[in-house]
Amino acid sequence: MSLEKNTRPPRLDATSFRAALPGVVKPAYDRDKVAIGVVHFGPGAFHRAHQAFYFDELLASDPRWGICAVSLKSPGVRDALSPQDGLYTLAQLDEQTSFRIVGAILEVLVAPEDPPAVFARLASPEVRMVTLTITEKGYCLTRDGTLDRTHSDIVHDLGAPRAPVSAIGYLVEGLRRRFVAGISPYAVVACDNLADNGLRLKAAVVDFAREVDADLAAWIEAEGCFPRTMVDSITPATDDALRARVEAAVGLWDAWPIQREAFTQWVVEDVLGPDAPDLAAVGVTLTDDVRGFERAKLRLLNGAHSTLAYAGLLEGHETVFEAMNDPDLSGLVRDLMTEDVIPTLTAPRGLPLRVYAEAVLKRFRNPAIRHLLSQIAWDGSQKLPFRILGTVADALSAGRPVERLAVPLAAWMHFVRRRAAAGVTIVDPLAETLIETARACTGEAHSDVARFLLLERVFPAALSRDAAFVAALEKAYAALS
């Protein structure tokens, strides 16, 4: 036996967690008295850092909302957490990192290994909510947001709806069993940042169900609750350094701890009804204007992130924290947010935009978060139309200048051009087209910008023809050369 195994502390589990070192927050409830009221598909890092954290808070006052976590493919989370009785450590990264043992997950299932157990949970009257963090592609939707009937998982599930492999297939089969049993449907809460996520998921579920049973589809359409949501919290990946840090701070060995920034946000459309968990009591924002929150996050936080990524990489910076320590870049981002973006937004109730912008800037300066600019720079052709170009269009319509807004776009063009010239991989669905465009560039602003503006999947034709926008892009491109 190795020295490491001889000296390792006990593994975190339902017995050992009580021996965690002072300062570690432990579950403030008796887990033996907790019932499973939530099924969650996709128990990756973000769910365990985010939704499970909120339910862990709620369980202190209402024991009905324990979680059954369901993996649709990989057994990795089950294999790590089952020996720990579902317990894991959440490290909240701030100027001073805090540690919390989360106990909200009572069961972890791997759907392909035990479909009957998943169906039993979905059909249980005690389960009144199903949440999902399965990434955008997990919803099996087309580019226009409708059910993708050509997706291999959907093709399979439509042919064998009682033995699904997709999230939508499981949702529909679970709802069918409740329909047959006369049990009200569970609320379905998508927690992936997909615009109008609840509306799109409901439409896809109803569309799928219509192929199974027209009466079932009509019941889901009439009775089903699919709120729109928005989620936010930076959640770096777990690594051995985190495991070692948690082991030292907690005094127990945890196979799969999770880390995130201290800031966390969950916005849910206020349509859940009287039988829903009291999420507002634990800090969830219930609102009738999720779109307003989405738009603010997309343009202020995500737009600023992309600006820092492309402009920061051109200056040789590696992380958001490093870029924010560059006075010129931090000044650019602050001015862009306050002078260019905020005037295009209507503040939703409960979100003062200038306060939100300052909170975003503070998050970017968090020294405990190592957020790579290169990772934020991925998929620019998909992100920039929503993060920057919408603001540009609104500013032009209002007769406001767009010189600052042109900077991240010009920086992206240089980023693509330099990557292509160096033969470095460009992570983007349009990578081949981008490389072809970049290799035709000469470094001269007028001709290079014109080539990029031909990318119709990035730049709308109306913008590409706008003289003020083109002039601002060429000026920014030349300045960054």
- For residue 426, the domain's CATH number is 1.10.1040.10
* Same domain, yes or no: 225 and 323: no
Q: How high does pLDDT run on average in the chain?
A: 96
* Same domain, yes or no: 162 and 301: no
Q: How far is the C-alpha of 153 from the C-alpha of 368, rounded, in Å?
A: 40
* Same domain, yes or no: 34 and 20: yes
Q: How far is the C-alpha of 472 from the C-alpha of 299, rounded, in Å?
A: 19
* Same domain, yes or no: 49 and 174: yes
* DSSP letter, residue 440: T
Nearest one of 18, 2, 20, 77 to 253, comparing CA atoms? 20
Q: Indicate the length of the chain as a whole number.
A: 481
Give the number of domains in the chain: 2
Q: How far is the C-alpha of 149 from the C-alpha of 217, rounded, in Å?
A: 17
Burial 37-54 (b: 16+ CB within 10 A, else e): bbbbbbbbbbbbbbbbbb
Q: How far is the C-alpha of 422 from the C-alpha of 399, rounded, in Å?
A: 39
* Same domain, yes or no: 235 and 260: yes
**Cβ(229)–Cβ(206) under 8 Å?**
no
Q: What pLDDT score does 193 carry?
A: 84
Taking CA atoms, 216 is separated from 30, 132, 181, 187, in Å, by 38, 22, 12, 15
Q: How far is the C-alpha of 302 from the C-alpha of 314, rounded, in Å?
A: 18
- How many Å is the maximal CA-CA distance in the chain? 72
* Same domain, yes or no: 455 and 321: yes
For 76-127, give the DSSP string. Answer: HHHHHHGGGTT-EEEEEESSS-EEEEE--EEEEEETTT-HHHHHHHHH-TT-
Phi and psi torsions of 7, nearest 5°: -100, -5
Nearest one of 40, 94, 52 to 266, comparing CA atoms? 52
Q: What pLDDT score does 5 carry?
A: 52
CATH of the domain at 54: 3.40.50.720
Given a cut of 50, the residues of the chain with pLDDT beneath it are 1-4
Q: How far is the C-alpha of 149 from the C-alpha of 158, rounded, in Å?
A: 9
* Same domain, yes or no: 353 and 308: yes
Q: What pLDDT score does 127 carry?
A: 98
* Same domain, yes or no: 149 and 295: no
Owning domain of residue 323: 291-480
Helix (H, G, I), strand (E, B) or coil at 41: strand
* Same domain, yes or no: 359 and 389: yes
* Same domain, yes or no: 159 and 46: yes
**Cβ(48)–Cβ(80) under 8 Å?**
no
Last residue of a domain, one of 288, 308, 327: 288
* Same domain, yes or no: 236 and 159: yes
Q: What pLDDT score does 75 carry?
A: 97
> Structure pTM?
0.89
- Decide: residue 143, CB within 10 A, 0-12 exposed, 13-18 middle, 19+ buried: exposed
